[in-house]
Structure 1
Amino acid sequence: MSLPSHERRPYSILVRRLEERFGSARQQNRWLSRFEMRTRNSGETVAALGDDLRQMVQKAYCNLDSLAQEVLALNQLYKSIPIEMKCRECKTVADAVDIIERYEALLGESSQKKTSVRSVSYENCSENKLDMEWQNNGDQNVRLISQQPNNDRTIQMLLSRMDKLENQIRNTNNRSNFRFGHNNYQNGSNTQNQRTCFICDSPDHFYRQCSMSNDHEFRENKSPNSQNFRNFRPNTTMETVQGDNLPFIQ
C-alpha cells in the first residue's frame, strides 16, 4: 500500500505514517502478539490475509531483514489454510497466495466446504447411524455364520481333549490306589509295623535264620542308621560262679 503524494512531502507526516505502517521498537511486543494470533476470518481472501501478515511481521520483527520477515509471514499464512493447499517450494507470500487462489478456484473455499459437509452430516445423522448399525450387524452376522463350522470344530476338539485329560487323571489315581492296596495286602499290616531281618532286611525270615549271619564283613559294613536298625540286646544267661552265690552274666 503506497502513500498519497500530499503525505510524502511533509517530513513529519511521512515519519508518522511510516511509524504507523512499520511500527517502532516500543510497540514490538504488541505487534508480535497480534501477529501470532492472526488467523483467516470468514469471507476474507487469501491476498488480504497475506498483505496483513506482511505488515504485521514488519512491525513485530523490525530488527530482522526482509528475507526473514518473509519466511515468518509465510509460516503464519500456512497455519490458516488446509494441508492440501500448502506448497513447500514457495519462498514468498505472493507465490503462496497465487497457488492458494488457484486451489480455491478449483476446489472451493475451505470454509464453505466445511459448512456444507457439516450441514449434510447433521441432516442425515439419524439415517446414516441406522444404516451403519444395520450394516455392522449384518456384517457381524455374516461373519459369525461363516465362522460357525470352525467354531464347532474347535469346541469339539477342546471337549475331546478335556475328556482325555480326565481319563488320564482317573487312571493315574486308580493305579496309585491299586498299588497301595496291593502292597498292604502283601505286607499283611502297615509298613511301620513290618518286621524284617536285621541283616538283609528280608521280611521272609529273621536274624537267626539269615544265611548272612556268619558274614562278619557284612555286619561290620552295615550302617547303624539303617531302616531296620534297632537297639539289639544280646541274650544273657545267668550262671553261678563256683564258691560264690553271685550270678555271672555272659
Structure 2
Amino acid sequence: MSLPTHERRPYSILVRRLEERFGSARQQNRWLSRFEMRTRNSGETVAALGDDLRQMVQKAYCNLDSLAQEVLALNQLYKSIPIEMKCRCVDRECKTVADAVDIIERYEALLGESSQKKTSVRSVSYENCSENKLDMEWQNNGDPNVRLISQQPNNDRTIQMLLSRMDKLENQIRNTNNRSNFRFGRNNYQNGSNTQNQRTCFICDSPDHFYRQCSMSNGHEFRENKPPNSQNFRNFRPNTTMETVQGDNLPFIQ
C-alpha cells in the first residue's frame, strides 16, 4: 500500500524532522557523552553503577557486539572505583561487569566503601603540643568556620618565622658589607677606582679620613708590621709635598 502524492510529501517531512530530533545518530552521540562522563555518585551501589553503564554502552555503541560492549562498560567501571579495587578485579581476571561488581561488593562489605574513608594530613609543630591537638581535631571537623579559627595560629606563627628569618638575613648582609669596607685597601688601587668622587683611606678604605689620620698605621709602625712584599706596602706612595719647617728653611718630606 502506498500513500497518495499529496499525503506522501507531508509524511516524508514528518519522518525527516523526527529523525533530526530523535534520530539514532544524534542520540548515539548524546549517550556516548553521558557514558564517558558517568561516575559513581555518593551513596550509589556498585551494582546500580554497573547496570547503568551497561545500558548506556548499548545505546552509545549500538553497532558493536555484546562482548565489546561489555568490555567498554567494564573499563568505564574501573574509572569509578579505587585503584586497589581495580587491581583485585584484574587479578581475578574479570571479563564482565557482573564479575567485577561481585568482587567489589565483597571487599566493600569487609573494608567499607572508599567514600567513607577520610584522608587526613598530620600537622607537626615543635612549639606547642596543644596546637597539634587542635590541628588534629580540625582535620576531623567539616565546619569551615572551625577550620579558619584553628588555622589562624599556624598562619601567624609562620609569618613571624618568615619575618625573623628575613631580619637575620638582612643583618648578615649588613655585617658582611661592613667587614668588607674595613679591609686593607687594595681594590681601589688595583682596579683604579680611587677617583675624585671615591677617595678613601689607603689602609682601611674608610671615606671619613685619609692615610695620615688613620689610627691603624702611623708611618713606621705600618712599615715594621707589614712585610715588604705585601700588596699595601707595594702600593704605598708617600706624599712628597715640600713644606718648610718652622724655624728652619729646610724642607722635609711628609
**Aligning the two structures, in what range does the TM-score lie when normalised by the shorter sequence?**
0.3 to 0.5
Q: CA deviation at 1:107?
A: 0.7
Q: Deviations over 1:84-107 (max 9, x none)?
A: 111471110000000000110111
Residues 172 and 143 of structure 1, relative CA distance in 2, 3 Å threshold: same
2:35–2:60: 8 Å Cα contact kept in structure 1? yes
TM-score (norm 2): 0.39
Residues 41 and 120 of structure 1, relative CA distance in 2, 3 Å threshold: farther
Of 11-20 and 226-235, the range deviating more from structure 2: 226-235
Structure-2 residue corresponding to 1:155: 159
Residues 29 and 202 of structure 1, relative CA distance in 2, 3 Å threshold: closer
Alpha-carbon distance in structure 1 between the residues aligned to 2:229 and 2:212: 21
Residues 65 and 102 of structure 1, relative CA distance in 2, 3 Å threshold: same
Q: CA deviation at 1:26?
A: 3.3
Q: Which has the larger radius of gyration?
A: 1
2:54–2:70: 8 Å Cα contact kept in structure 1? yes
2:181–2:206: 8 Å Cα contact kept in structure 1? no
Q: CA deviation at 1:25?
A: 3.4
Residues 104 and 29 of structure 1, relative CA distance in 2, 3 Å threshold: same
How many matched pairs?
Answer: 250
Of 221-230 and 209-218, the range deviating more from structure 2: 209-218
Q: Gaps (5+ residues) in structure 1?
A: none
Q: Give 1:16-55 correspondences, 5 Å limit.
A: 24-55=24-55
2:185–2:232: 8 Å Cα contact kept in structure 1? no
TM-score (norm 1): 0.39
Q: Give 1:111-150 correspondences, 5 Å limit.
A: 111-114=115-118, 127-128=131-132
Of 139-148 and 17-26, the range deviating more from structure 2: 139-148
Q: Gaps (5+ residues) in structure 2?
A: none
Of 160-169 and 59-68, the range deviating more from structure 2: 160-169
Q: CA deviation at 1:155?
A: 34
Alpha-carbon distance in structure 2 between the residues aligned to 1:24 and 1:130: 59
2:40–2:80: 8 Å Cα contact kept in structure 1? yes
Q: CA RMSD in A?
A: 17.7
Structure-2 residue corresponding to 1:109: 113
1:22–1:59: 8 Å Cα contact kept in structure 2? no
Once superposed, which parts of structure 1, at least 4 consecutive aligned residues long, lie more than 6 Å away? Answer: 1-23, 115-126, 129-250
1:199–1:219: 8 Å Cα contact kept in structure 2? no
Q: Deviations over 1:33-74 (max 9, x none)?
A: 000000000000000000000000000000111111001100
Q: CA deviation at 1:24?
A: 3.2
Alpha-carbon distance in structure 2 between the residues aligned to 1:37 and 1:223: 85
